[in-house]
A = this chain, B = another copy of it.
Amino acid sequence: MKFRVKLIPVRMERASAILSQEDAQELGLLVGDRIKLIFGRKSIVADVQIATGMIERGEIGISKNITEYLEIEEGGEVEAYPVAKPPSVEYIRKKMDGHKLKKEEIYSIVSDIVNDALNEIELSAFVLSNYFHGMDMDEIEWLTRAMIETGETVTFEKGTIVDKHSIGGVPGNKISLLIVPIVAATGLYIPKTASRAITSASGTADTMEVLANVCLSVDEIKEITERVGGVIAWGGATNIAPADDKIIRVEYPLSIDPHSQLLASVMAKKGAIGAQFVVIDIPVGRGAKVPDIDKGRELANDFVTLGRRLGLNVTCAITYGSQPIGKAVGPALEAKEALEALEKGKAPRSLIEKALGIAGTLLEMAGVATDGVEYAKRVLESGKALEKFREIVEAQGGEPNVSSENVPIGDKTYDVVSPIDGAVSRVDNKRVVKVARAAGAPKDKGAGIVLHKKGGQHVKKGDKLFTIYAEKEWKLEQAIELAMREPPVKVSGMILEKYPSYRYY
């Protein structure tokens, strides 16, 4: 059938085509079906949407991205006909019914995810099936390989390639800004791709972006790594394992992260970048992704097994994750804290100890040192890590003489003090993140929280517990309000039953 193009004046990521109810019926199409649009020698498959008005019979509403792709103007005539569901939908159905998928079936699903050939409902069904039924190690391996092969990959001709990855869930985890330069300073290559915050207050890419450009191509990542030894880039700017981003978009509204997908997602990124030795940081504890050390060990075992199948040497670090790492949460505040650690070799113990522990593990795995932590500590204290970090920042287009002194942070601040004498009984990861996000993080780089007291510390009435930073007054207000309603730092006396609440001065 031929349709007159009506331009929908917007550019969207997915291709969809809006039909009148009558034409949809004529073609036997329902919402979520697929239609192929053909103009000249170009064609594109779009999701069917059905209008309840303003699209006449014979008209088809398509957005700017499609008209541009097809090189057609408003009012032009496009040929359109229904296309069948891709076969991968059948494979998703098979997984829905709890059956094990074959290698080529998983490849077909992943390739259709990457090509936007699955609609949201079908993609949700895939993710939920994995959540409900899980995948065995064969399937996870195939999923990982399919995710690697449907995206860009990097091959280094020389050097030892190491990498680290945190599965997330604990705020303030700016350790990569220490680990990458420490490791790179020893002559290893560490081409770290990191993510931006989705629900957290700052992803490593957001934090690094305060100091340098993180939108690097795969070629740039390779070139900088070979030149200065390391890089901290935003994975989303590359086309590494592109299926992952699309899967995450469905996981987010349901707050799920199926085991199989978590494993595949992490290992695909490491595999694609050509890593030989990898440390996976698995924070466990209250308010972290993994609730306890036993579950952490299970996950660790799966990472190691999957790594072995893929030819990657993996060590997992199960880490303390019941409260934030260090004191700063939010892009600029975290960048500042990381720089302080590099400059002075001292910073909150939780940050230094964790960073050195993971860096040390990488050094041992790669055969650089027998006592990796001690070696890493020397690199940090000697100033070589700072020097390397500045090289990396410069290579990524940042200010080479960057210092913690001149990291701009939000100028709207508010101190929250303890209403009683007592001790900090809990710093709640999720609440810290919520307040930091309410204050503007990660979008407003200078926004976030600095904790002055952490779990177990004694406080006197009137002592500062934490400071909220914001760039905008209205966001500061919003964060203060939230911090009053859901206090991120809980102070208790010995009499727990009274549940004191904060007063704000």
For residue A250, which residue of chain B has the nearest CB?
B121
Q: Are A11 and B53 in contact (CB under 8 A)?
A: yes
Question: Interface-forming stretch among A175-183, A253-261, A347-355?
Answer: A253-261
Tell me which residues across on chain B come within 8 A of A18, comparing CB atoms. Answer: 10, 12
Partner of A26, one of B30, B55, B124, B443: B443
Q: A9-B54, A28-B443, A125-B128 are in contact. Are A96 and B254 (CB under 8 A)?
A: yes
Chain A 32-66 against B: per-residue CB contact (8 Å), 1 yes, 0 no?
A: 11000000000000000111111100000100110
For residue A68, which residue of chain B has the nearest CB?
B53
Q: Are B252 and A11 in contact (CB under 8 A)?
A: no
**CB-CB contacts below 8 Å: A313-330 with B:** none
Interface size on A, residues (CB 8 A): 51
Chain A 104-146 against B: per-residue CB contact (8 Å), 1 yes, 0 no?
A: 0000000000000001111011001101110000000000000
Q: Are B54 and A10 in contact (CB under 8 A)?
A: yes
How far, in angstroms, from A496 to B120 measured CA to CA in the complex? 44
Q: Are B11 and A10 in contact (CB under 8 A)?
A: no
Tell me which residues across on chain B come within 8 A of A443, comparing CB atoms. Answer: 25-26, 28
Tell me which residues across on chain B come within 8 A of A8, comparing CB atoms. Answer: 8-10
How far, in angstroms, from A365 to B50 measured CA to CA in the complex? 43
Tell me which residues across on chain B come within 8 A of A26, comparing CB atoms. Answer: 443
Q: Are B49 and A12 in contact (CB under 8 A)?
A: yes
Q: Are A125 and B28 in contact (CB under 8 A)?
A: no
For residue A55, which residue of chain B has the nearest CB?
B10
Partner of A96, one of B13, B50, B131: B131
Q: Are A30 and B121 in contact (CB under 8 A)?
A: no
Whether A249 is near chain B, meaning CB under 8 Å from some CB there, is yes
For residue A118, which residue of chain B has the nearest CB?
B253
Partner of A52, one of B13, B52, B89, B437: B13
Q: Are B93 and A65 in contact (CB under 8 A)?
A: no
Partner of A12, one of B51, B128, B133: B51
Q: Are B53 and A121 in contact (CB under 8 A)?
A: no
Whether A484 is near chain B, meaning CB under 8 Å from some CB there, is no
Tell me which residues across on chain B come within 8 A of A53, comparing CB atoms. Answer: 10-11, 64-65
Q: How far is the CB of A15 from chain B (nearest CB, A)?
A: 12
Q: How far is the CB of A46 from chain B (nearest CB, A)?
A: 14
How far, in angstroms, from A131 to B131 measured CA to CA in the complex? 13
Q: Are B256 and A96 in contact (CB under 8 A)?
A: yes
**CB-CB contacts below 8 Å: A73-127 with B:** 85, 89, 92-93, 96, 119-122, 124-125
Tell me which residues across on chain B come within 8 A of A96, comparing CB atoms. Answer: 128, 131-132, 254, 256
Q: Are A249 and B10 in contact (CB under 8 A)?
A: no
For residue A25, which residue of chain B has the nearest CB?
B443
Whether A237 is near chain B, meaning CB under 8 Å from some CB there, is no
Q: Are A52 and B65 in contact (CB under 8 A)?
A: yes
5 A/B residue pairs, CB under 8 Å, sorted by A:
A8-B10, A119-B253, A121-B121, A122-B254, A124-B124
